[in-house]
Amino acid sequence: MQINLITGISGSGKSVALRAFEDAGYDCVDNLPVSLLENLISTLEQEQCERVAVAIDARRGQSIAELPSILENLRKNHQVRVVFLNADTNTLVQRFSETRRRHPLSTNAKQSQSATLIEAIDKERNLLEPLRAQAHSIDTSNIPAHALRSWIQDLLKDKPVGLTVVFESFGFKKGVPSEADLVFDVRCLPNPHYDKVLRPLTGNDKPVKEFLEKIPEVVNMEADITQFIHRWLPHYIADGRSYLTVAIGCTGGQHRSVYLVNRLSEYFRGQKDFSNLQLNFLDRHRELDSIPAAKS
């Protein structure tokens, strides 16, 4: 059975992600107590269910600490993937303010004590940290709901085994993605933004590609990043990781970083050196994916 566990910080988009799984035909369960997870999987197994997505949060406190060992047991007979949704604290505070909902950890029922929103968020981060370390993380701070749904749909195309390498472009002016494992800063390269013709275009467009591929510094930067990843990728595989996110950042996340992510993805997808390894590749363009389709 393919088991997808959706967890993360409250307000980061777990409901949106679960609906994306539901739209893809998965049997979905929301807010399941940790203690019932194994019983649920056993029941679904008897019913010959093939794909399930389960959302679990930290509202039941310390019981979440039992989850890593439960997942380890489930992995003996099933394919298990953990999707961890995250967002920076300022974004979470704004979202809770807009929805006027209470954080699930804001009240201690036993002691009848209330915590501030930031205290509740910090407590939740600490409780969920063991899960985040083994999960595929998605930072939703700067992406709208439609982009998250699209990213989940791309994730579902990927096989839930082996190492998935995520190449992600971003703009430094909106912050570094929190899920990034490797970050390369390409702001030192010539910027197409200062060309009035190229400014409204992106790294996906032919004129921008032709502009950048003629610049020696761009060619050298691409070669250096490629060589680094090529050399160290086998070590990340040997480390037993499930996901490796390589983030390429420029100022606005529109031209240089997009171009280089596309180039890196194309190169590694075509490498026969890794043909005997269980490797999957995903591409993300954080700033471009955040633009509504009608305006793109």
Q: For 73-82, 97-106, 198-207, 270-279, which range has the lowest pLDDT when averaged over its residues? A: 270-279
Burial of 231 (0-12, 13-18, 19+ CB in 10 A): exposed
Are the C-beta atoms of 165 and 230 separated by less than 8 Å?
A: no
Distance CA 208, CA 272 (A): 29
Q: Is the pLDDT at 36 greater than 50, yes or no?
A: yes
What is the mean pLDDT of the segment spanning 34-51? 92
Q: Which of 289, 281, 285, 284 is nearest to 243 (CA)?
A: 281
Q: What is the pLDDT of residue 105?
A: 82
Share of the chain above pLDDT 70, in %: 92
Q: Which helix (H) or strand (E) holds 96?
A: helix 89-99
Average pLDDT, the chain: 89
What pLDDT is recorded for position 111? 45
Cα angle 38, 43, 47; round to 5: 145
User: Token pair 């250096």 is at which residue?
Assistant: 224
pLDDT, residue 130, reads: 84
pLDDT at 232 over 70: yes
Residue ranges of the chain assigned to CATH 3.40.50.300: 2-157
Asked if pLDDT for residue 196 goes beyond 90, the answer is yes
The highest-level CATH class for domain 2-157 is alpha beta
pLDDT category of residue 271 using cuts at 50, 70 and 90: confident
* 115-160 pLDDT, tens digit each: 788 988 998 999 888 888 778 999 999 889 999 999 998 888 866 5
CA distance 82 to 135: 5
- For 65-111, write each residue's pLDDT tens digit: 888 899 999 999 999 999 999 999 999 999 988 888 888 887 654 44
pLDDT of residue 296: 35
Handedness of CA 171, 176, 178, 183 (dihedral sign): positive
Query: Could you tell me which of 243, 232, 57 has the C-alpha nearest to residue 161?
Result: 243
* Buried residues in 177-193 as b, exposed as e (16+ CB within 10 A): bbbbeeebebeebebbb
Q: Nearest Cα to 140, choosing from 83, 203, 68, 187?
A: 83
Helix (H, G, I), strand (E, B) or coil at 81: strand
State the pTM of this model. Answer: 0.73
Whether residue 295 has pLDDT greater than 60: no
Residue 3 phi/psi, 5-degree rounding, is -110, 120
